[in-house]
Amino acid sequence: MGVLSGRVALVTGASSGIGEGAALALAEAGAKVAVNGRRAERLAALVAKIEAAGGTAFMLPGDMTDEDQASRIVADAAAHFGRLDILVNSAGVVRMGSIEESDPAEWRAVIDVNLMASYYPCRAAIPIMKAQGQGDIVNISSTAGRRASAFVSSYTASKHALNAMTEALRREVGALGIRVCVIEPGATVSEVYDSLPDPAQRDFMREHVTKAGAMAAEDVAAAILFAVGLPRRANVTEILIQPTSDVVAR
């Protein structure tokens, strides 16, 4: 019996990267897992993989940047499994370029995915977890939420905002038995570069997240398991996790 046996998790952004790794790790630890993302075929393959390993999973494709869809997906996850103990918000996107030459519509789209697509499911999950008397919310941010970098302004702004929202939420719901944690990974192998329209930017980001020593999705998933596996009286509020090799030579 896994350490999370009897618990139910919803993972957004689960069609690839950290979200996929989180779903696999939570299922292996015994949780029943609802997986969300925009690519239904990827979610179906993930559910099949979890079930083949003896776990329980359910796919809920949809767009978390849409408030109505996000609310429905959270409600459907809780209805399908009878409760909702863990929410992992992992959807994310990056765009590159200067502020001067940026497209405001693209900027808003990054904010929608990296901030609003976590805000909406958080908001929908609180009443469910409040009624249960407990729950865990884990938001996946980035080291970009701690330090700003040039030419990724929308990304770093969205991650700073996500960090602030997560801490505000923790202060609001801790007395209700709901724990809230933000995890800030450094370079982690993923497909985040794949949607970048500019080939040079795509190659740059691909090299960054696949460089020697970059973390794997399961490394971040291990941090998630640590946060949600502690005794209820303990709330790990923030985890910064970086590749071991990301150090400055002296």
pLDDT tens digits, 28-63: 999 999 999 999 999 999 999 999 999 999 999 999
Distance CA 32, CA 8 (A): 5
Q: What is the pLDDT of residue 170?
A: 98
* 203, part of any domain: no
* 121, part of any domain: yes
* 249, part of any domain: no
Using the predicted structure, report yes or no on whether residue 115 has a pLDDT greater than 50: yes
How much is the average pLDDT of 130-134? 97
Task: Note if the pTM is more than 0.85.
Answer: yes
Domain tally for the chain?
A: 1
* 194, part of any domain: no
* 205, part of any domain: no
* 153, part of any domain: yes
* 208, part of any domain: no
Decide if 120 is catalytic. no
Distance CA 104, CA 116 (A): 16
Q: pLDDT band at 250, cuts 50/70/90?
A: very low
Percent of the chain predicted with pLDDT > 90: 79
CATH number of the domain encompassing residue 48: 3.40.50.720
Q: Which domain holds residue 103?
A: 8-188+214-241
* 64, part of any domain: yes
Q: Which of 119, 120, 155, 193 is catalytic?
A: 155
Per-chain mean pLDDT for the chain? 93
Q: What is the pLDDT of residue 143?
A: 92
For the segment 181-208, what is each residue's pLDDT rounded down to a tens digit?
999 999 898 766 667 776 777 667 777 8
Using the predicted structure, report yes or no on whether residue 118 has a pLDDT greater than 60: yes
